[in-house]
Amino acid sequence: MSDLRELYQEVIFDHYKTPRNCHVLDCANHQADGYNPLCGDQVTVYLKVENGVIEDLSFKGTGCAISTASASLMTEALKGKKIAEVEHLFEDFHQMVTAPDTTPHPELGKLEALAGVREFPARVKCATLAWHTLQAALKNQKKQISTE
Ligand code: ZN
């Protein structure tokens, strides 16, 4: 288990140091801003949705390693996904970072790197900020969303 944990930390560190899809998406037709006042994490999520499919997505923001890595991993995981699948993945992801049990979630792929967050309840909002912001973007919510 400790080897696995090291690997997970490596994934988080890698995505924090070199975030994927971290830029403004000029062709975006959905976007929203999110803020986690507990930690000071800020993120803007950009989406290009066509026919119910996320054709492209990106994010810009400043925050801690967990929030940045989570946003980066999320953009990688959701490109090309149907909106319906996204809802399902978010449910699984949310369960993974909040549930006390350690049931594996193979459908989450690399997102499982964030499973360790469940041991740090204060960081759950860091890990889910990008996802909440994504949901707001899908609803074209103009007001900045806050985890509080
Ligand atoms: Zn944070």
Q: Identity (one letter) of the amino acid at 113?
A: A
Which sign, positive or negative, has the C-alpha torsion 140, 41, 17, 131?
negative
Query: Residue 2 has what pLDDT?
Result: 58
Delimit the domains of the chain by residue range.
2-140
Q: How confident is the model at residue 4 (pLDDT cuts 50, 70, 90)?
A: low
CA of 35 to the centre of ligand 1 (A): 10
pTM of the entire structure? 0.93
Does residue 8 or residue 81 have the better pLDDT? 81
The domain made up of 2-140 has a fold known as: Sufe protein. Chain: A (3.90.1010)
**Rounded to whole angstroms, how far apart are CA atoms 128 and 50?**
24
Which sign, positive or negative, has the C-alpha torsion 48, 54, 56, 61?
positive
Query: Residue 122 has what pLDDT?
Result: 87
Query: Residue 1 has what pLDDT?
Result: 47
CA of 50 to the centre of ligand 1 (A): 31
CA of 108 to the centre of ligand 1 (A): 21
Query: Residue 59 has what pLDDT?
Result: 98
CA of 89 to the centre of ligand 1 (A): 21
> What average pLDDT does the segment 2-24 reach?
88
Query: Residue 145 has what pLDDT?
Result: 86
Query: Contact 45/17 with Cβ under 8 angstroms?
Result: no
For residue 93, pLDDT over 70 is answered with yes
Q: How confident is the model at residue 8 (pLDDT cuts 50, 70, 90)?
A: confident
**Rounded to whole angstroms, how far apart are CA atoms 72 and 113?**
12
